[in-house]
Amino acid sequence: MFRKFLKTNTKKSEKGFTLIEMIVSIAIFSIVVVMALGALLVIIEANSKSKSVKLVVNNLNMALESMSRELRVGYDYNCASSFGGDCSSGGSTIYFKTKDGDDAYYKFSGNTLKRKIDEIDSAEVSLIGSDVFIEDLTFYVEGTGVGDEEQPRILVTLKGLSEEGTETTEFNIQTTISQRQIEP
């Protein structure tokens, strides 16, 4: 009977974890936590980059859409300082007449896109936010010659970058705008 009591006592004392088992389990848990934190940091960085790209896209989309809308219904496009100039080789400024007949222009100046309509704006208005930097903007105009039987169209190429915190996002955009009214 004494022997039986000794065996049951020994079995009860064997329950639980040894120090080595605890160290191994803590090491495995630490490795899993470090890997999860690494993945979390990558996700946070990707989210920041995504926000920067979305900011650029929204900002430029609004600027280009408003410019396209106005140019579509305008007429007499050119890139020279006086009306009737040639834009087939490109220019950083496009002059045109609005649908109401006002003189207007869009121009690339000081790393931004600016607009001025003589009868409406007293000064040039920047169309993009201060966190978007345009490196190059060129307007190409075709079909403005008298009797050329071509529908006037404008090709806009835009290259730049956006900086949000430590994130820098480069972009290249190209769009074509055709005049809505057909010239006689």
Residue 14: what pLDDT? 66
Convert the pLDDT of each residue in 159-177 to its tens digit: 988 877 677 778 898 999 9
Residue 82: what pLDDT? 47
Question: 121 near 105, Cβ under 8 Å?
Answer: no
Q: Is 100 helix (H, G, I), strand (E, B) or coil?
A: coil
If you average pLDDT over every residue of the chain, what do you get? 82
**Residue 79 and residue 105: Cα distance in Å, rounded?**
9
pLDDT higher than threshold 80 for residue 122: no
Residue 170: what pLDDT? 85
Alpha carbon 31 to its chain centroid, in Å, reads: 37
Q: Which one, of 59, 184, 29, lies nearest residue 128 by Cα?
A: 59
Residue 6: what pLDDT? 52
Residue 36: what pLDDT? 95
Task: Summarize the confidence of residues 50-56 as an average pLDDT.
Answer: 78
Convert the pLDDT of each residue in 59-101 to its tens digit: 888 888 999 999 999 888 887 644 455 667 788 889 888 888 8
Task: Summarize the confidence of residues 9-18 as an average pLDDT.
Answer: 68
Within 13 Å and on the Cβ side, how many CA atoms surround 33? Answer: 6
Task: Summarize the confidence of residues 139-160 as an average pLDDT.
Answer: 82
pTM: 0.69
pLDDT higher than threshold 70 for residue 137: yes
Task: Summarize the confidence of residues 123-151 as an average pLDDT.
Answer: 82
Task: Summarize the confidence of residues 120-133 as an average pLDDT.
Answer: 82
Residue 52 has a CB neighbour count (10 Å cut-off) of: 20
Residue 80: what pLDDT? 64
